[in-house]
Amino acid sequence: MTVSPRPADRRRTTPVSIGPSTGRARLWAYAANPHVIFALAALGHAALVLIVQHYRAPVLWENGVIASYLWRGEGFRTDFARPAELSSWQAPGYPVLLLAAWRVFDHGPAPYLALSLVQAVALASIVYPVSGLAARWFDDRTRIAAAWLTLLMPLYAWYSTRLHQAGLAMVAHAWLLFLWLRLRDGLTASPTTVSARVTPARVTIRAAATGALTGLAALLQPTVLGVLAPLGVWQLASALRRRDRRAAARWLFCAGCVLLVLLPWTIRNYRVHHTLVPIRNNFGKEFWMGNNPHATGAGFAAGGREEITIAHPPRAFGRRPALSEMALMDAMLAEGWDDVRADPAAFVGRTLRKIGWFWTVLPRDLVRTVAGDEAVRYRGVYVGYWTLIVAAGAIALVRVRPLPRESLAVLALYITVYSLLYGVTHVGQVRYRGEIEFVFLPLAAAGLVSLLPAARAGRREPA
């Protein structure tokens, strides 16, 4: 979809010179090229995969248990409630990826190395949507700065090495936001601002593709719908308010494509549990972990060595052999609500504390140390890069004018949804916020770029 920029937007999308026009111009051109930055990021991530060598003895968590049952032809099962019970505890995406890797490479390090390298390249590709968002909201210098910030993100490099859906969820969040906003451009543009190549049929095809990709991403990590569903409702309401029936119909078509992708898995879940489970049924467990008499706010007890469900098991665990997975999740949800109703003030205080920790940093004694202590070992890196992003974003809020309304609305949406999601459940793992940290990078890049003219002026001043 090619959308001709409005006259007022041409200033934003015109490339600017960021370096000298002499012999170093070619070097600056390479530094500004997103393909070069992507290649560097992919090489760096792949190198870390080979250095860390987690693929030789990976921790696969619940995904590995499910994939093992699938490998043996026994279906999507876990041992959470009853042994070898048909399950919806986890989303199906990553266990299926593990199964596919085993089918191609068999067992051993090879499938895990291959999957890690795929993740390395996919995480490097976040350079494109982040730089695209920065160009959309700010200018070309900010686009370049945002691409380099993405390349330097430690979490993207680290999750290339982890055999978990978190890394691919980071990729999905970034690309889908970019695609949804691009789709909005095509659906709202007038015939005079859209290229002749972008026909109504092509816009419809892109709406279908965006919806299908969103559905596939939700089968990997359902939290993507927590942001994209409100964004879609907002866009649909805007189309209806403008009385643009064609745009409204295409937004509904896009949503229908999302549901169409999810439908087979939802039907399967209904047949297994005899109740509606769109993707996962784990909310009862997550809610109880954050709301019980022993809740710390994190998923782990003090010291980080035991999950809270192991250190202080819920009452429902005493009936575990007699309860199905769905009944166990419902029982844990009911226990959590009982504790909330028993002390509403404690619930409010605990929720606010969790929200604060989510957007800052968790106390050290609540950080997970089981199955690897990297969260403690590299805690300084985690705190350092997030502090830089927040500080640079704050500089942008003070120095950059005008601030794009769309970027502020998107930030507000992500902050609101994730504050609610993790405020009522539990926090404590860097991947939770890591899924959406990309959305802060364009603003952080704008803040850093805003300092450049002042810095250069300062260097020109006499001592």
HEC secondary structure over the chain: CCECCCHHHHHHHCCCCCCCCCCCHHHHHHHHCHHHHHHHHHHHHHHHHHHHCHHHCCCCHHHHHHHHHHHCCCCCEECCCCCCEECCCCCCHHHHHHHHHHHHHCCCHHHHHHHHHHHHHHHHCCHHHHHHHHHHHCCHHHHHHHHHHHHCCHHHHHCCCCCCHHHHHHHHHHHHHHHHHHHHHHHHCCCCCECCCCCHHHHHHHHHHHHHHHHHHHHHCCHHHHHHHHHHHHHHHHHHHCCCHHHHHHHHHHHHHHHHHHHHHHHHHHHHHCCCCCCCCCHHHHHHHHCCCCCCCECECCCCCCEHHHHCCCHHHHHHHHCCHHHHHHHHHHHHHHHHHHCHHHHHHHHHHHHHHHHCCCCHHHCCCCCCCHHHHCHHHHHHHHHHHHHHHHHHHHHCCCCCHHHHHHHHHHHHHHHHHHHCCCECCHHHHHCCHHHHHHHHHHHHHHHHHHHHHHHHCCC
Among 67-71, 261-265, 300-304, name the one with the lowest average pLDDT.
Answer: 300-304
Residue 371: the pLDDT is: 66
Quote the mean pLDDT of the chain: 90
Closest CA to 280 of 134, 21, 92: 92
Q: Which residue has the higher pLDDT, 201 or 21?
A: 201
Residue 178: the pLDDT is: 97
DSSP classification of residue 5: P
The angle subtended at Cα 365 by Cα 428 and Cα 153, nearest 5°, is 45
**pLDDT above 50 for 5:** no
Per residue in 177-187, pLDDT (tens digit) is 999 999 988 87
Residue 199: the pLDDT is: 76
Q: Are 235 and 251 in contact (CB under 8 A)?
A: yes
Q: Which residue has the higher pLDDT, 288 or 17?
A: 288
What percent of the chain has a predicted confidence (pLDDT) above 90? 79
Residue 22: the pLDDT is: 64
Six-digit token string for 227: 């942001």
Closest CA to 220 of 186, 263, 156, 171: 171
Residue ranges covered by each domain of the chain: 172-276
Per residue in 376-430, pLDDT (tens digit) is 788 899 999 999 999 999 999 999 999 999 999 999 999 999 999 999 999 988 8
Residue 212: the pLDDT is: 98
- The residue type of 21 is S
Residue 12: the pLDDT is: 47
Residue 193: the pLDDT is: 47
**pLDDT above 70 for 275:** yes
Per-residue confidence band for 38, with pLDDT thresholds at 50, 70 and 90: very high
Whole-prediction pTM = 0.91
Residue 340: the pLDDT is: 96
Residue 406: the pLDDT is: 95
Per residue in 236-260, pLDDT (tens digit) is 999 999 999 999 999 999 999 999 9
Residue 321: the pLDDT is: 84
**pLDDT above 60 for 190:** no
Closest CA to 59 of 103, 106, 104, 116: 116
Residue 4: the pLDDT is: 42
CB-count burial class (<10 Å; 0-12, 13-18, 19+) for 283: middle
Q: Which residue has the tokens 């876990």?
A: 78
